[in-house]
Amino acid sequence: MVQPWVDKYRPKSVSDVAHQEEVVQTLEKALEGSANLPHLLFYGPPGTGKTSAALAIARQLFGPELVKTRVMELNASDERGIGVVRNKIKGFAAGAVGSSVAGYPCPPFKLIILDEADSMTSDAQNALRRTMEAHSKVTRFVFICNYVSRIIEPLASRCAKFRFKPLHGNIMTDRINHICTEEGVTMGSGSMETLSKVSGGDLRRAITTLQSAVRLQGPDVAPATLLDVAGAVPDAVTSAVLSACRSNSFAAIQTAIADAIAEGWPAQAMLLEIQAALLSNDDDGVSESARAGVLLALAAADKALVDGADEQLQLLNVASATQKALCASA
């Protein structure tokens, strides 16, 4: 079994976590032997190293053996209703701390990592409030989430908050280059730019895309393969749809959308591309309000798609709204 590169190249220590200086500094201080680690709340977009940082702290604090008994990791795929908080988490938090292992700081507390904490119900979060305080002598919590606004205020105020920034182009490039040398992958010209474009600051997505591309096409990676694996819609498809929208003919958008659907392009990716095309082009004589109207239609369609609506109808509807906006203002 070949290990996913995302796991293989996960940072092993806190100092390896890329591009999050403040976080790394604070955590390293805590690691330097002072037993004082606050409750932590990590938030930020996907693929910026939140889970990696949490796992790295756990490993560095306790070492590989003690991690099994001192750390509890729960993520969205585990049951995390109020029942689990009351029984499992509380039970684990209340337990006494065992002996320490030489060679690691082994501070006298346990760690509970709640990954994807924003998907916990507010009931479950409320049930944690008192638990956090009552057992703060023996337990520290780490909450990890994408949206800090979904963590209830009483929990957030009990934690030290750290925001994880999206990774810039060159930091991502460094990591990718590192993986490429380790795995013997050569990037064709333009591949790196394509990779950072399709991943949009999400390092995990970049690595997964790279690995899939290598699996399919061998160790020479071309930009086209990356685009294909990432499911990104090529510019030609989007511009065909947009020119159909400009044409003022309903039949034209109908054929353009039918073609795009038959080619199997994912509708959500199409919406993103249409949005990008619309926003990047501000001298096409489209009025601001018309543009805003199209964006509204895009948002509604995205919500509908997530709810499971039909791709073809939603795309057609967006295209028809775009056509009306473009043609009315032209």
Partner 1 sequence: MLWIDKYRPKRLDKLILNQEIGDNLSKLVATGDCPHTLFYGPPGAGKKTLIVALLREIYGAGAEKIKVETKPWKIALPSRNIEVELTTLSSNYHVEMNPSDVGYQDRYVVQEIIKEMAKSRPLDMKGQRGFKVLVLNEVDRLSKEAQASLRRTMEKYSAACRLVMSCTNVSRVIEPVRSRCLCVRVAAPSTAEVQRMLAHVAKKESLSLPDSLSLRVAQASERNLRRALLMLETCRVAQYPFTPDQPVQLADWELYIQEIASDIMQEQSPKRLFQVRGKLYELLVNCLPPTLILRKLVLELLKKLDEEVQHTALALAAQYEHRMQEGQKAIYHLEAFVAKFMSEYKQWSIMAFG
Q: Which of residues 197-226 bind partner 1 (CB under 8 A)?
A: 204-205, 208, 212, 215-218
H helices of the chain, where?
Answer: 5-8, 21-31, 50-70, 82-84, 90-94, 122-134, 153-156, 169-183, 191-199, 203-217, 223-230, 235-246, 250-262, 267-280, 288-306, 311-329
Identity of residue 212: S
Cβ 30 to partner 1 shortest distance, Å? 29
Q: Which of residues 60-89 bind partner 1 (CB under 8 A)?
A: 75-78
Cβ 4 to partner 1 shortest distance, Å? 8
Q: Is 264 in the site for partner 1 (CB under 8 A)?
A: yes
Interface segment toward partner 1; rule CB under 8 A; list 23-31, 127-135, 280-288, 320-328: 320-328
The alpha carbon of 190 is separated from its chain's Cα centroid by a whole number of angstroms, namely: 24
- How many positions of this chain bind partner 1 (CB under 8 A)? 47
Sheet with 160-163: list strands edge to edge: 71-74, 110-114, 139-145, 40-43, 160-163
Residue at token pair 């064709």: 188
Q: Is 299 in the site for partner 1 (CB under 8 A)?
A: no
List strand residue ranges (DSSP E) for 191-294, in order.
220-221
- Which of 146, 311, 325, 326 touches partner 1 by CB under 8 A? 311
Q: Kindly state the tokens that stand for 250.
A: 């309903």
The alpha carbon of 78 is separated from its chain's Cα centroid by a whole number of angstroms, namely: 19
Going by C-alpha positions, the residue among 32, 30, 53, 29 that lies closest to residue 41 is: 53
Q: Is 55 in the site for partner 1 (CB under 8 A)?
A: no
Interface segment toward partner 1; rule CB under 8 A; list 84-92, 136-144, 163-171, 321-329: 321-329
- Which of 85, 314, 325, 326 touches partner 1 by CB under 8 A? 314
Q: Which of residues 228-247 bind partner 1 (CB under 8 A)?
A: 228-229, 231
Cβ 128 to partner 1 shortest distance, Å? 21
Residue closer to partner 1 by CB (options 25, 249) is: 249
Three-class secondary structure of residue 285 per DSSP: coil
Half-sphere exposure of 307 (CA within 13 A, CB side): 8
Q: Residues interacting with partner 1, by CB under 8 A? A: 1-2, 75-78, 204-205, 208, 212, 215-218, 228-229, 231, 249-250, 254, 258, 261-268, 301, 304-314, 316-317, 320-321, 323-324
